[in-house]
């Protein structure tokens, strides 16, 4: 949190909002459905690709802000299993934006302790994208700051189906009777090791979950803004967090029950506390 306060300009809306946030009750895991790139471009009579390009700036500022705030995990929905239905040119633009983002920002992500991981059917991604991701993941694997998960060729239903098939395969090789409970089943999901999202942000005013993290968002607080993704900035993130902090999470219980926070799983390979990431705040502008 202190890195964010040091970064925010004196007298700015970001500083005013950040000062209202309770640093002890930050969401551990924020997930984002980045929506509205196309409509942002259309409003400006620009090609859809321009919307995606502008969306990368929001990706950058959101990652940096989460890192400076000391959020443990951020998951971005960048490409769904359904997105292959888009024109080939648009799909290729998305891959080339991802590649250039990784090439340009990897040093800065590494220096700021960000650990990258990917969820989805990644074996179906273009070979060049798979190779760049593998090297970025390997390079950031030892980092202990923000865990940044990018969902690529991701679908919540396919994730569950993949997990079920893995359970069956495991049972076959081990020769055991097939039996899972919620906690053992979660270990088969792409997100094994990540706590469930506390907060799900969706831009562009659509109120739906679009096949994103279907298992994991059972008790997630959802915050929707009318802003298109390319217009999403630090102040919007802070507003979402403030709104989250004003909500009462009962997890199906009663309001005077003790919090269940202490029971949540630790982040695998990452700091489990909301402590400050190393040197965050040093991202190049």
| 248 Cβ contact list (under 8 Å, min separation 6) | 255
User: Given candidates 56, 119, 136, 151, which one binds ligand FPP under the rule CB under 6 A?
Assistant: 56
User: Given candidates 61, 83, 108, 210, which one binds ligand FPP under the rule CB under 6 A?
Assistant: 83
- Contact window for ligand FPP (CB under 6 A) among 31-39, 120-128, 166-174, 260-268: 31-39
The two tokens of residue 232 are 């999403």
How many other CB atoms are found less than 10 A from the CB of residue 208? 11
DSSP-based three-state secondary structure for 22: coil
**Per-residue contact track with ligand FPP, 149 to 188, x per CB under 6 A?**
-x--------------------------------------
HEC string for 161-227: HHHHHHHHHHHHHHCCCCCCCHHHHHCCCCCCCCCCCCEEEECCCCCCCCCCCCCCCCCCEEEECCC
Residue 75 contacts ligand FPP per CB under 6 A: no
Residues 60, 40: contact at Cβ < 8 Å?
A: no
Q: Return the number of the residue (56 or 65) whose C-beta is nearest ligand FPP.
A: 56
Residue 46 contacts ligand FPP per CB under 6 A: no
Residue 55 contacts ligand FPP per CB under 6 A: yes
Taking alpha carbons only, the member of 151, 155, 143, 84 closest to residue 115 is 143
Q: Is 92 a catalytic residue?
A: no
Minimum distance from residue 211 beta carbon to ligand FPP (Å): 12
| 90 Cβ contact list (under 8 Å, min separation 6) | 48, 49, 52
Q: Return the number of the residue (211 or 245) whose C-beta is nearest ligand FPP.
A: 211
Residue 199 contacts ligand FPP per CB under 6 A: no
Q: Is 83 a catalytic residue?
A: yes
Minimum distance from residue 22 beta carbon to ligand FPP (Å): 29
Q: What is Dmax (Cα atoms) for the chain?
A: 64
Binding positions for ligand FPP, rule: CB under 6 A:
34-39, 52, 55-56, 59, 76, 78, 83, 94, 97-98, 101, 150
| Residues designated catalytic | 35, 83
């Amino acid at each position: 949190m202190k890195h964010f306060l040091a970064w925010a300009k004196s007298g700015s809306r970001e500083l005013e909002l950040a000062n209202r946030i309770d640093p002890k009750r930050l969401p551990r895991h924020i997930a984002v459905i980045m929506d509205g790139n196309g409509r942002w471009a259309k409003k400006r009579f620009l090609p859809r690709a321009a919307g995606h390009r502008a969306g990368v700036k929001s990706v950058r500022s959101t990652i940096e802000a989460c890192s400076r705030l000391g959020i443990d995990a951020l998951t971005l929905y960048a490409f769904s299993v359904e997105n292959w239905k888009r024109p080939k040119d648009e799909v290729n633009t998305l891959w080339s934006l991802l590649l250039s983002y990784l090439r340009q920002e990897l040093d800065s992500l590494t220096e700021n302790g960000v650990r990258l991981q990917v969820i989805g059917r990644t074996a179906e991604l273009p070979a060049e994208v798979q190779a760049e991701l593998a090297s970025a993941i390997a390079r950031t694997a030892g980092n202990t700051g923000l865990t940044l998960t990018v969902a690529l060729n991701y679908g919540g239903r396919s994730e569950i189906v993949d997990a079920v098939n893995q359970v069956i395969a495991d049972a076959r090789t081990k020769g055991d009777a097939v039996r899972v409970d919620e906690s053992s089943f979660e270990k088969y999901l792409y997100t094994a090791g990540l706590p469930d999202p506390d907060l799900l942000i969706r831009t562009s005013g659509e109120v739906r979950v679009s096949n994103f993290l279907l298992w994991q968002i059972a008790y997630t607080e959802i915050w929707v803004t009318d802003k298109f993704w390319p217009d999403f900035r630090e102040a919007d993130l802070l507003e979402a967090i403030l709104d989250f902090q004003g909500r009462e999470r009962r997890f199906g219980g009663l309001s005077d029950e003790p919090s269940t926070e202490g029971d949540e799983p630790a982040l695998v390979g990452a700091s489990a506390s909301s402590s400050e990431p190393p040197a965050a705040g040093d991202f190049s502008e």
